[in-house]
Amino acid sequence: MSAEETPEQPETDIPDLAHADVGIVTALPIELNPFIGQLEKRRSYTGGKYKFIGGTYDDKVKVVIVQQAVGFAKARAATQALIEAHSPNWILSAGYSGALQPDMGIGDIVVGNSICDQHGHSIKIDMNMEANEKTGLRVGRLLTADELVLKADDKKQMGIKHDALAVDLESMAVAQVCKEMQTRFMAIRALSDDMSEDLPDEILSLMGETGTMRMGAVVGAIWNRASSMKDMWHLREKAMHASRRLAAFLNMLLPRFVE
């Protein structure tokens, strides 16, 4: 069994998840798989267009995760569905992000104290958390972009223009819904790519909506550029490191939501 697989436990002694302490919105299964594997009394179900995974963490925190395809509109809809189904006390936008500052490394955790987008909108997040750069914890502004940012030079310019630490595709959408529905919100992102190199162009065609590699696109990429598979394997390793770091941070954070 691979490190990414998270087999479900038998559906016995299933907790009442009609209400959750914490709801988590994520885009790709790979982002939270290490964390999901730690949930107790875990079960999954499909509600409408979305896959929900529920369970308890440390036998006391009720958690429900909704997974949806990448992008702003789908993140909004998934967040609304999660709140309506489980009325969580908190919503977390959790997953990958790209560094917008040169001194940041793969696996660094970014907690947003504000969210902005490329159209002049911004939301301030009322939170009290201090950065600790020695442990890779950053606190600052997150940018939600309209599309995946591949080029390191583009990231540099975005970081300067928006005074942001990292970029993702969903946090503003989740924050907006939480503000409208009066649900407390945090954005927690793990860096899966830094500013040391460009992302390969093939990533746009290789990744399916569920976060899996589309094999037809993989074959085509290898045919067109022999180094594509090496590049994608390198990205996968960095992504898994970011996922493990994100899981470790959530392990530390979640008990605080029920204190």
Q: What is the pLDDT of residue 199?
A: 84
CB contact at 8 A, 42 and 53: yes
Query: How would residue 209 be classed by pLDDT, with cut points 50, 70 and 90?
Result: very low
Report the pLDDT averaged over residues 50-56. Answer: 92
Is residue 9 predicted with pLDDT exceeding 60?
A: no
Buried b (16+ CB within 10 A) or exposed e, 101-122: beebebbbbbbbbbbbbeeeee
Instruction: Indicate the pTM of the whole model.
Output: 0.85
For the chain, domains (ranges, CATH) are: 22-197+240-258 (3.40.50.1580)
Is residue 57 predicted with pLDDT exceeding 50?
A: yes
Q: What is the pLDDT of residue 203?
A: 64
DSSP bridge partners of 40: 56
Report the pLDDT averaged over residues 75-93. Answer: 95
Q: What is the pLDDT of residue 28?
A: 86
Q: What is the pLDDT of residue 2?
A: 45
Q: What is the pLDDT of residue 234?
A: 77
Average model confidence (pLDDT) across the chain? 85
Q: What is the pLDDT of residue 69?
A: 63
- CB count in 10 Å sphere of residue 149: 20
Which of the two residues, 215 and 116, has the higher pLDDT score? 116
Q: What is the pLDDT of residue 131?
A: 95
Q: What is the pLDDT of residue 29?
A: 87
Q: What is the pLDDT of residue 219?
A: 39
